[in-house]
Structure 1
Amino acid sequence: MKTLTSILSLSLILVMFFPSPSFSAVRCHPEDKKVLLTIKKALSNSYSLPSWDPQTDCCKWYGLQCHLTTNRVINLDISYGQRSVHIPPAVGDLPYLEILFFHKLPNFVGTIPQTLTKLTHLKYLIISWTNISGPIPDFIGQIKSLEYINLSYNNLSGSIPPSLSDLPNLTELNLGRNKLTGSIPDSFGKFKGTPPSLYLSHNQLTGYVPKSLGLLKFPSLDFSRNKLQGDISFLFGSDKNYWKADFSRNLFEFDLSKVVFPKSLNVLDLNHNKIYGSLPQGLTSLNQLQLFNVSYNRLCGKIPVGGELQKFETTDYFHNRCLCGAPLSACK
């Protein structure tokens, strides 16, 4: 699974340690350079861009990468700025851009500009740890080249646009840590391509998880810390291949006794819900389990012996109706 940290690291390695080859002639495309200077001005000539000198080759500027043969700008990485600004609409005028990072910019405000739809080669869209607000634009679903979207740690509000499921190449969608409301779109059970990992945690989502999601095999699901409700047992099964399933701190209510979990699970977190029944014996076959938490539910019965279950803390099991057995107290 691609993570923001790994992509940021790759971006910095490409930009800082494998810069475009140095030639005697200026490589920077004049149209790209014009756009970049417009972006710099829109960012109030940000002090974080000191190398963006109009007298020098833009392919050597910090935070940029040019294609080795076409010399067009393909990577724009602006991070850790302090000025209060909006996302420059001129970003959409870099026609060959593949990677766009706006990260750790607490004074970035305003909304996501529609000019991004002009970026027909864009693969990675990361706008994270900023103070942009407003809804997640429906037009993002028009950028069919997108493979990775991270809009986490912002102030985005409103509902999740169903059109995001129209992206055929998407491998990960992270909308966590915002102020999103409404329900999970039913269209998320009908992704055009291979189902992506979905991270929707720490929002204000409500309602029931669409049954259509149970028809797909997601690599990872994180719906934690919302206000979702109902039975989500249909999301599990031996045919699934999750590595992470985090549904903690919601209002889910179902019988856990007969649920079958995929053996691929590394993370299973169900704490702070209304789940009842007993822990199924099949949990002992999850040999890759590294994080497990069923605390603060309504579970009862003996904790199955075997596998990884006894290595977890009592806090991963406590505050249930009548669970017993190691690592909790012995059953009477």
Structure 2
Amino acid sequence: MKTYSLFIIFLFYFLSLSFPCYAAEKCNPKDKKVLLKIKQDLGNPYHLASWNPDTDCCDWYVVDCDPKTNRINALTVFQANISGQIPAAVGDLPFLETLLFRHITNITGEIPSAIAKLTRLKTVRLSWTNLTGPVPSFFSKLKTLTYLDLSFNQLSGSIPPSLSLLPSLLALHLDRNRLTGTIPESFGAFTGSSPPDLFLSHNQLTGSVPKTLGNMNFTRIDLSRNKLEGDISFLFGKSKALQDADFSRNLFEFDITKLEFPESLSNLDWNHNKLTGNVPVGLTTLDNLQQFNVSYNRLCGQIPVGGNLQSFTYAEYFHNRCLCGAPLPAC
């Protein structure tokens, strides 16, 4: 009889090790309740069918748990057939570090203020949706943010100057929206150790680029397809770290003849502006220059020979006032 009892105890022990359903649920019950509320608020979409209250929420689709705390630290909803607004309940996941709603065109409404409660957030990607309303200033209070992507939406209004207060920000994507007004002066004083990659293209921004941005050592900056004007020569210089720069399709107007460039520069697009002068000779020393476009400006003179300048096509130089030399016709 004792042998039989020992066998039964051993069998239960073996089953508890072999089958997860016998193990204790890892998911925090508070987080599980919040996730089920999010699913309900989104209309119980098929995309979240794995969110079954009878299973462990750490195993649910588009959800990740921190292995140390077993708290939900990532919610990444991507290319889903989901409609409605981003549920305010996301603000009740206090350990969330990554929040992503991306490529979901039926997500509408404004960015919920409840996100301001998520003080551990590092990555926010709310992009390729139909979000409307302003860019919330509350993002500036989330001091752990390293990546903020609100691109490809219908956001309107001005850019909050307070975003420059984010000390760890590495990239800021506000491109492809309907933003108006000017670039904040404060963007020339980001508080981090280095300025973030700055993407403001395809908006309706106006006015001059603040000269304070010349104090920043941007690596990547895209201001294309706005209505910006004036002189941006202060963004260039041999000591800069600039690699990729797109200023195309604006109203910039200044003489580029004597500009100097960092050796790191690999992409420079100035097409469709009002630039004057000659193509700078300093560009011939840039071995890393892979993309270059000065078409549709007011440039004159011979294109300098050397470096990669003759590797670009006619289309990168045409429609200027009196520019000549290879790859354009001879002077």
Q: TM-score, normalised by structure 1?
A: 0.92
Shift of 1:81: 2.5
Can you give the 5+ residue segments of structure 2 that lack an aligned partner in the other structure? 1-19
Q: Give matches, 1:8-87, under 5 Å.
A: 24-87=23-86
Task: Give the equivalent residue in structure 2 for 1:267.
Answer: 267
SS state at 1:27 partner: coil
* Whole-Å separation in 2 of the counterparts to 1:25 and 1:244: 51
User: Per-residue CA shift, 1:256-315, capped at 9, x if unaligned?
Assistant: 001111111111000000000001110011111111000000000111111111111100
Task: Give the equivalent residue in structure 2 for 1:192.
Answer: 191
* Whole-Å separation in 2 of the counterparts to 1:286 and 1:41: 56
* Whole-Å separation in 1 of the counterparts to 2:135 and 2:47: 27
Q: Give matches, 1:224-243, under 5 Å.
A: 224-243=224-243
* Whole-Å separation in 2 of the counterparts to 1:283 and 1:83: 49
Task: Give the equivalent residue in structure 2 for 1:13.
Answer: none
Q: One-letter code of the match for 2:275?
A: I
Task: Give the equivalent residue in structure 1 for 2:325.
Answer: 325
Task: Give the equivalent residue in structure 2 for 1:217.
Answer: 217
Task: Give the equivalent residue in structure 2 for 1:173.
Answer: 172
Task: Give the equivalent residue in structure 2 for 1:6.
Answer: none
SS state at 2:204 partner: coil
Residue 330 and residue 245 in structure 1: after superposition, are their counterparts in 2 closer, same or farther (change >3 A)?
same
Shift of 1:23: 8.6
* Whole-Å separation in 2 of the counterparts to 1:242 and 1:50: 46
Q: One-letter code of the match for 1:211?
A: K
User: Per-residue CA shift, 1:70-94, capped at 9, x if unaligned?
Assistant: 0001110112223330110010111
* Aligned-residue identity in percent: 60
SS state at 1:140 partner: helix
Can you give the 5+ residue segments of structure 1 that lack an aligned partner in the other structure? 1-20
SS state at 2:288 partner: coil
* Whole-Å separation in 2 of the counterparts to 1:325 and 1:94: 62
Aligned residues: 311
* Whole-Å separation in 2 of the counterparts to 1:210 and 1:58: 48
SS state at 2:34 partner: helix
Q: One-letter code of the match for 2:99?
A: L
Q: Is the 8 A contact 2:47 2:82 kept in 1?
A: no
Shift of 1:24: 2.0
User: Per-residue CA shift, 1:161-199, capped at 9, x if unaligned?
Assistant: 001000000000000000000000000001011210100
SS state at 1:292 partner: strand
SS state at 1:228 partner: strand
Q: One-letter code of the match for 1:241?
A: A
Task: Give the equivalent residue in structure 2 for 1:289.
Answer: 289
Q: TM-score, normalised by structure 2?
A: 0.92
Task: Give the equivalent residue in structure 2 for 1:159.
Answer: 158
Shift of 1:47: 1.0
Q: Is the 8 A contact 2:254 2:274 kept in 1?
A: yes
4+ residue runs of structure 1 moved beyond 4 angstroms? none
* Whole-Å separation in 1 of the counterparts to 2:266 and 2:84: 40
Shift of 1:46: 1.1
Higher Rg of the two aligned structures: 2
